[in-house]
């Protein structure tokens, strides 16, 4: 059922085109144009992710092949999330029947929540979903391991290495394993033994990553923008946005209208206080309901790698909810599992239909650049970049008047926006060419008539 509804919800994503960062990461990136180009680019950033892009190019299946991989990765994540929860919840103190219901509903939410579209229909969003797939594999195998030298731990370490080779923020999987193991009662020596090899692998991977010039430049460039007060205010804003608007279906937006904060203000502290509530509740409930505490802490743990030390170029992106969503999804599962059998089934079916329909609708935004940026400027009307991108998309479609209006709007919002100025100059040049061509055509028609 989970596999079926996932494939049904994303069937129309195959009509999507390359968008935004896809051109930078996939279409125009030399190292992913072939398997040999990928090999020659090593060592480099995110090698396993780039290998999947190179394999897609080499397959000759075009856009359909890229979409097929993204959907397959998402479907695998859904099944892994279900497997992980239905095995772990009974160990965390729940009876098996209730645990089964909670796991199923949680996996359904993971499968169909519209915030996930940015990691599935948006092709370069694969970095998040592919990392999540290997991270979930690491957690499932790591919890199953009974001895640090058994085959389950070997498989877990292979998954962790693959996750790190996909996206460097995968390190959150190790403290996540500690959280899940502690919630099912592991303490002291047993917990340390389970974490010893993953932690050692993480340390070795961190040293290897920092030894690579590309990663070192990335780290130094982001740390160079570090201003503790501004970072705190900006990242609190990011957490508040992600855990409300996309999570609660209030907004799905590839380019949210968020700006870096210079320092904390009253809104920052109010948001921080609101975010502290679930953390305090988790601490209070840890001994009585460790599964509940885990669900409450989970989104903060999963968002931590990208939203703490490093100053991100974009304040927040919906796709970063991909792994974080598992905690809130478990809370939804718990709420529905408390209902009697038939109401529970009806509520789960209704939830699936609503989420699925919104996801199908969101997939259509990725069918063209015009559609995506039209939706984005509606959600972020005062942000210049979406208007610039819409103007560029309209220019490529030949709608020069619409492109000019969009680009002028971008410049009204940010007068020194050089990319918008460049695109506007291109639009005006094409408009002049169109006038000249029309005048030439009319002159030719008049001469023929004479």
Q: How many CB atoms lie within 10 A of CB 72?
A: 15
Q: Given this model, what pLDDT does residue 306 score?
A: 78
Asked if 307 and 301 count as a contact pair (C-beta separation under 8 A), the reply is: no
Contacts of 347 (CB under 8 A, 6+ apart): 336, 339
**Whole-number Å distance between alpha carbons of 77 and 89:** 18
Of 324, 285, 277, nearest in space to 301 by CA: 324
Q: Output the CA–CA distances (angstroms, integers) from residue 159 to 48, 78, 197, 209, 301, in the order listed.
A: 12, 16, 13, 17, 19
**Whole-number Å distance between alpha carbons of 46 and 63:** 21
Digitized pLDDT (tens) for each residue of the chain, 450 residues in all:
999 999 999 999 999 999 999 999 999 999 999 999 999 998 888 999 999 999 999 999 999 999 999 999 999 999 999 999 999 999 998 999 999 999 999 999 999 999 999 999 999 999 999 999 999 999 999 999 988 788 999 999 999 999 999 998 899 999 999 999 999 999 888 899 999 999 999 999 888 887 887 777 766 666 656 678 888 898 899 999 999 999 999 999 999 999 888 889 999 999 999 999 999 999 999 999 999 999 999 999 999 887 776 666 788 899 999 999 999 999 999 999 999 988 999 999 999 999 999 999 999 999 999 999 999 999 999 999 999 999 999 999 999 999 999 999 999 999 999 999 999 999 999 999 887 766 555 555 544 444
Q: How many CB atoms lie within 10 A of CB 157?
A: 19
Using CA of residue 201, residue 205, residue 206, residue 211, what is the dihedral sign? Answer: positive
SS3 string, the chain, reads CHHHHHHHHCHHHHHCCCCCHHHHHHHCCHHHCCHHHHHHHCCCCCHHHHHHHHHHHHHCCHHHHHHHHHHHHHHHHHHHHHHHHHHHHHHCCCCHHHHHHHHHHHHHHHHHCHHHHHHCCCHHHHHHHHHHHHHHHHHHHHHHCCCCCCHHHHHHHHHHHHHHHHCHHHHHHHHHHHHHHHHCCCCHHHHHHHHHHHHHHHHHHHHHHHHCHHHHHHHHHHHHCCCHHHHHHHHHHHHHHHCCCCCCCCCCCCCCCCCCCCCCCHHHHHHHHHHHHHHHHHHHHCCCCHHHHHHHHHHHHHHHHHCCCCCCCCCCCHHHHHHHCHHHHHHHHHHHHCCCHHHHHHHHHHHHHHHHHHHHHHHHHHHCHHHHHHHHHHHCCCCHHHHHHHHHHHHHHCCHHHHHHHHHHHHHHCCCCHHHHHHHHHHHHHHHHHHHHHHHHHHHHHHHHC
Using CA of residue 316, residue 321, residue 323, residue 325, what is the dihedral sign? Answer: positive
Q: Given this model, what pLDDT does residue 447 score?
A: 47
The structural domains of the chain, with segments of one domain joined by +, span: 2-366, 368-449
Q: Given this model, what pLDDT does residue 350 score?
A: 96
Residue 164 has, within 13 A of its CA and on its CB side, a CA count of 24
**Whole-number Å distance between alpha carbons of 295 and 154:** 27
- Say how far residue 350 (Cα) sits from the centre of its chain: 25
What are the φ/ψ torsions at residue 145 (nearest 5 degrees)? -60, 135
Asked if 406 and 369 count as a contact pair (C-beta separation under 8 A), the reply is: no
Residue 286 structure tokens? 């840890």
Q: What CATH number labels 368-449?
A: 1.25.40.10
pTM to 2 decimals? 0.92
- Say how far residue 156 (Cα) sits from the centre of its chain: 23
Of 430, 429, 432, nearest in space to 398 by CA: 430
**Whole-number Å distance between alpha carbons of 169 and 318:** 16
Q: Given this model, what pLDDT does residue 225 score?
A: 60
């Amino acid at each position: 059922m989970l596999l079926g509804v996932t494939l049904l919800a994303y069937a129309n994503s195959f009509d999507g085109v390359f968008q935004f960062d896809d051109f930078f990461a996939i279409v125009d990136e030399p190292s992913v144009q072939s398997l040999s180009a990928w090999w020659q680019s090593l060592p480099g950033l995110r090698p396993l992710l780039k290998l999947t892009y190179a394999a897609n190019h080499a397959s000759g299946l075009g856009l359909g092949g890229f979409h097929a991989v993204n959907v397959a990765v998402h479907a695998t994540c859904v099944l892994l999330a279900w497997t992980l929860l239905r095995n772990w919840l009974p160990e965390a103190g729940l009876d098996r029947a209730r645990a089964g219901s909670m796991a199923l509903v949680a996996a359904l939410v993971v499968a169909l929540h519209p915030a996930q579209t940015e990691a599935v229909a948006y092709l370069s969003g694969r970095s998040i979903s592919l990392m999540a797939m290997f991270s979930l594999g690491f957690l499932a195998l790591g919890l199953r391991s009974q001895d640090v030298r058994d085959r389950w731990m070997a498989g877990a370490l292979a998954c962790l290495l693959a996750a790190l080779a996909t996206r460097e923020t995968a390190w959150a999987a190790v403290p996540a394993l500690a959280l899940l193991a502690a919630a099912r009662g592991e303490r002291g020596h047993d917990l340390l033994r389970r974490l010893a090899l993953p932690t050692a692998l993480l340390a070795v991977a961190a040293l290897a990553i920092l030894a690579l010039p590309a990663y070192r430049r990335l780290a130094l460039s982001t740390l160079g923008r570090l201003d503790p007060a501004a970072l705190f205010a900006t990242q609190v804003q990011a957490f508040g946005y992600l855990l409300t608007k996309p999570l609660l279906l209030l907004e799905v937006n590839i380019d949210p209208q968020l700006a870096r904060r210079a320092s904390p203000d009253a809104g920052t502290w109010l948001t921080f206080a609101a975010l502290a509530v679930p953390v305090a509740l988790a601490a209070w409930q840890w001994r009585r309901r460790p599964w509940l505490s885990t669900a409450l802490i989970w989104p903060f743990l999963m968002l931590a790698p990208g939203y703490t030390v490093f100053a991100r170029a974009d304040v927040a992106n919906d796709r970063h909810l991909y792994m974080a969503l598992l905690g809130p999804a478990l809370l939804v599962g718990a709420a529905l599992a408390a209902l009697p059998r038939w109401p529970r089934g009806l509520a789960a079916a209704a939830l699936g239909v609503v989420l699925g329909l919104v996801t199908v609708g969101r997939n259509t935004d990725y069918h063209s650049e015009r559609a995506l940026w039209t939706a984005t400027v509606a959600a972020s009307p005062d942000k210049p970049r979406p208007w610039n991108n819409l103007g560029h998309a309209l220019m490529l479609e030949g709608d020069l008047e619409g492109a000019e209006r969009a680009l002028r709007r971008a410049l009204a919002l940010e007068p020194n926006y050089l990319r918008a100025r460049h695109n506007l100059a291109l639009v005006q040049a094409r408009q002049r060419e169109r006038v000249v061509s029309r005048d030439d055509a009319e002159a030719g028609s008049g001469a023929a008539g004479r």
